[in-house]
Amino acid sequence: MKIAISAGEESGDILGSDLIDSLKKHRSDIQFIGLGGERMKEKGFKSLFPFEEISKMGLIEPLFSLKNLLRRRKQLVDYFIDERPDIFIGIDSPSFNLGISKKLKSETNIKTIQYVCPQVWAWRKGRIKKFSNYLDHIFCLYKFETNILENNNLSSSFVGHPLAKNIELEIDKDKYKDKLNLDKSKIYIALLPGSRDSEIRNHINDLLSLVKHYQNYNPKLKFILTLTKNSKKYFFEEKLKELNNLIICYDDSKTVLSACDFSIISSGTATLEGALCKTPMVVIYKTNFLSYFVLSKLIYSKYISLPNILSEKKIVNELLQTQVNLNNLIHELDTLMKDDLGEMKKNFEILHNSLINDNESKFFSVIKSL
């Protein structure tokens, strides 16, 4: 059996790695081809080109790289048509991957699956009516999504989130502090500015200003900046030299979040990971004005962070656009450190339990049935 996969960003790489592990437990002879990141490569996956090339944030930023995005997508489509896999699985990145599914459906008999339901419950609901034209099945991370798809006569399965399976329900923070050789007399704050270069650019200056503030006013606080090994640092490297209360960790967000007492996280999958690690947080989101303006007109959800969206209520505070500034970050962090966070952590536990599911047999049974 040959399976083609397209995973275009860090969160997709996590899902793809787990998917490969799950399927190999049922059939060790499956050949995987396509696009993926470092975690997938560790499983023996060979990526046609670096997936960072298509990892673009927002509505406007991808337009600046549109020519390359379309060229790379055509390259993948042509490759899949030549290789004739049994199944194509697009992992997240719907703007990129659904185009591949459409093309494969129109020109081949390759079965198509979208892993991670496009967020039709948050914006552009009309898309759902066309999914049946080019998708044979959708793997959903969240149970409520299957109900929406079923109401539209679409084949889907709730597979849960691999982060919920791979992160303990009860986190021993001292154990993770020991793993990172941290001084337990200090208070540690995790900083996750995002995995894409555009996200880091939008958030890093405010975060480093926060670090510098506490370096001067509260030496008991230490910060851990979490990046991927592919993150570009040249545009803020000089500022790092001024900071003696900052540690940088690469590609180990679970350990960092599990060890830290509090966190400031850019909106995205990392907010869910922070909740599963039971780390109190404030969520930040800043993009260019035009992207935000367009999104604000299209989006239905009143929240931007996954813990709030999935809980259907505000359990963590969110700072958007101009709200992401030094004064507000100081206020939010000071509030986190003073408040009783029992209710927030209880909500994190409820969320964690809701996302656990045995997806290993589900993946294979669906693929075998197509």
Number of H helices, E strands in the chain: 18, 13
Query: Of all helices (H) and strands (E), which one includes residue 365?
Result: helix 359-369
Q: State the Cα–Cα distance between residues 15 and 235, nearest whole angstrom.
A: 30
Q: Which residue has the tokens 């900046």?
A: 225
Geometric angle at alpha carbon 193, from 326 and 122, rounded to 5°: 100
Structural domains of the chain in order of their starting residue, each with its CATH number? 2-161+357-369 (3.40.50.2000), 173-354 (3.40.50.2000)
Q: Which residue has the higher pLDDT, 360 or 239?
A: 239
Q: What is the pLDDT of residue 177?
A: 98
Q: What tens digit of pLDDT does each residue of 214-231 get?
A: 999 999 999 999 998 878
Share above pLDDT 90 across residues of the chain, in percent, rounded to a whole number? 76
Half-sphere exposure of 188 (CA within 13 A, CB side): 25
Q: What is the pLDDT of residue 67?
A: 84
Q: What is the pLDDT of residue 59?
A: 55
Q: What is the arithmetic mean of pLDDT over 287-296?
A: 73
pLDDT at 246 over 70: yes
Q: State the Cα–Cα distance between residues 121 and 162, nearest whole angstrom.
A: 21
Q: What is the pLDDT of residue 182?
A: 98
Q: Which residue has the higher pLDDT, 291 or 76?
A: 76
Q: What is the arithmetic mean of pLDDT over 240-268?
A: 95
What does the mean pLDDT of the chain come to? 92
pLDDT at 297 over 70: no
Residue 356 gets which letter from DSSP? -
Q: What is the pLDDT of residue 228?
A: 86
pLDDT at 298 over 90: no
Q: What is the pLDDT of residue 174?
A: 97
Q: Which residue has the higher pLDDT, 232 or 50?
A: 50
Q: What tens digit of pLDDT does each residue of 132-186 get?
A: 999 999 999 999 999 999 999 999 999 999 899 999 999 999 999 999 999 999 9
Collapsed DSSP state (helix, strand, coil) of residue 353: helix
Q: What tens digit of pLDDT does each residue of 356-369 get?
A: 987 778 899 999 99
Q: Which residue has the higher pLDDT, 237 or 83?
A: 83
Q: What is the pLDDT of residue 64?
A: 62
Q: 100 near 73, Cβ under 8 Å?
A: yes
Q: What tens digit of pLDDT does each residue of 69-126 get?
A: 899 999 999 999 999 999 999 999 998 999 999 999 999 999 999 999 998 876 667 7
Q: What tens digit of pLDDT does each residue of 53-71 get?
A: 776 555 556 666 778 889 9
For the entire predicted model, the pTM comes to 0.85
Burial class from Cβ neighbours inside 10 Å (0-12, 13-18, 19+) for residue 369 reads exposed
Q: What is the pLDDT of residue 100?
A: 98
| Cβ-based neighbours of 311, under 8 Å, separated by 6 or more | 347, 350, 351
Q: What is the pLDDT of residue 305?
A: 95
Closest CA to 76 of 64, 65, 88: 88
Q: What is the pLDDT of residue 123?
A: 65
